[in-house]
Amino acid sequence: MHPARRQGLEHARKIYAQADARLGPHDWAVGDLYSVADIHLFRLFWRFFNALKPPAKDFPNLMRLHDRMLERPAVQRTLDAEAAAGYELLA
């Protein structure tokens, strides 16, 4: 997923659509438990979603993970710390 955006928007959309399909109705990326895979998938999708603004309906499963992750206090604290440090998304 890392190089997907460098290969163009359509390629990135295809890769994220595959990730969305693989996640399917599952709560977490690997099995039934929250793991580092969820953190990584969230972070990659968060950057893609916030930088390129695709319609949320195009990635319903990733959006569900995205929204669930944003509810986590540790994620909120991390995003707040990054904002305070002046972190900006780069397209």
Name the token pair of 74: 């540790």
- Residue-wise pLDDT for 31-63, tens only, equals 889 999 999 999 999 988 988 889 999 999 999
Q: Where are the domains of the chain?
A: 2-84
| Total-model pTM | 0.86
Name the token pair of 42: 């969230």
Where does the pLDDT of residue 89 fall: very low under 50, low under 70, confident under 90, or very high at 90 and above?
Answer: low
Amino acid, single-letter form, for residue 68: R
Q: Which helix (H) or strand (E) holds 84?
A: helix 73-84
Please tell me the distance from the alpha carbon of residue 74 to that of residue 27, in angstroms, as a whole number: 18
Q: Helical H runs in 24-72? A: 36-52, 60-70
Q: Other CB atoms closer than 10 Å to residue 57's CB: what's the count?
A: 7
Q: Other CB atoms closer than 10 Å to residue 21's CB: what's the count?
A: 11
Q: Which of the listed CATH numbers 3.40.50.620, 1.20.1050.10, 3.40.1390.30, 3.40.190.80 matches domain 2-84? A: 1.20.1050.10
